[in-house]
Structure 1
Amino acid sequence: MRRNTIQRALVLEAVNKLKCHATAEEVYQAVVGEHPNISKATVYRNLNQLSQSGEIRKIEVPDAADRFDHRCHDHYHVRCTQCGRVFDVDMDYIEDLQKAIRDTHGFQFSGHDLMFKGICPQCQK
């Protein structure tokens, strides 16, 4: 059982306030802005612990920094190919999508993540 530390609470609060699929650096900047004595290592460690415990969701972004989401339920994302920001996609999560895969390598699938790509409205301007 993990302890609920003040630092952990600050990191969780920052992710919940940002609501933007923030990078670890963005979360750190949000926390250090109000609590200048917190270290980057503490923020990064707590982000990983919070994602492992299911309190936030870690989104692995190919060729970019991982993002942290305050929404923990299964859902899809889209990444802007211009600015790199990540957004939620408004569509139903396909629970058993992995059952449709013809597996030729012997995998036992446990789930899936999909990252769509496109250009966000802001970058289209």
Structure 2
Amino acid sequence: MQTRNTVQRQIVLQTVLHMHDHPTADTVYAAVAAEHPSISKATVYRNLNQLASQGEIRRVAMPNGADRFDFNTSEHYHVRCEKCGAVFDVHMPHILNLIDQVEDASGVEVQRYDILFEGICQDCRTEAV
């Protein structure tokens, strides 16, 4: 089903494209509402979901937490700090033939995947010292 490209959707998209910290839907809503107070939370959430399903932004599922949204739609990995909750891109080459290996081992035709590493970020490790 084709969705309309509304002014609200463009506002939400532009907001995510300018946020490079993997914001939650609430964070996106706060940024949108600061500039456009007439846009409802439901409108922002609906547009985030549509933009993610259309591949214009990327949803990063967080175990035991709110999903995050990423302007970078290319295949890449993420890491989440278990202490401060920050989410970062992992800048490394893709694991070659990963999908082929998973498909061969499981018999499942992989449609998409997300890899999320968890640990303690550099800033939090520095604070602990």
Shift of 1:95: 5.1
Residues 100/22 of structure 1: CA separation in 2 closer, same or farther (3 Å cut): same
Measured against aligned partners, the alpha-carbon deviations of 1:65-88 in whole angstroms (never above 9, x if no partner) come to: 111000000000000000111100
* SS in structure 2 at match of 1:49: helix
Shift of 1:91: 0.7
Give the whole-Å Cα distance in 2 for the aligned partners of 1:51 and 1:112: 14
* SS in structure 2 at match of 1:92: coil
Normalising by structure 1, we get a TM-score of: 0.91
* SS in structure 1 at match of 2:47: helix
How do residues 93-108 of structure 1 correspond to structure 2 at under 5 angstroms? Answer: 93-94=94-95, 96-101=97-102, 102-103=105-106, 106-108=107-109
Query: Which runs of 5 or more structure 1 residues have no equivalent in the other structure?
Result: none
Percent of residue pairs identical: 51
How do residues 1-125 of structure 1 correspond to structure 2 at under 5 angstroms? Answer: 1-94=2-95, 96-101=97-102, 102-103=105-106, 106-124=107-125, 125=127
Give the whole-Å Cα distance in 2 for the aligned partners of 1:3 and 1:35: 20
Give the whole-Å Cα distance in 1 for the aligned partners of 2:62 and 2:118: 11
Q: CA RMSD in A?
A: 1.3
Shift of 1:113: 1.5
* SS in structure 2 at match of 1:22: coil
Normalising by structure 2, we get a TM-score of: 0.88
Q: Structure 1 counterpart of 2:73, which letter?
A: C
Aligned length: 123
Measured against aligned partners, the alpha-carbon deviations of 1:77-117 in whole angstroms (never above 9, x if no partner) come to: 000000111100011122531322322xx522234211011
- Give the structure with the larger helix fraction: 2
4+ long deviations beyond 6 Å = none
Bigger mean CA deviation after superposition, 51-60 or 106-115: 106-115
Measured against aligned partners, the alpha-carbon deviations of 1:43-65 in whole angstroms (never above 9, x if no partner) come to: 00000010111110011111111
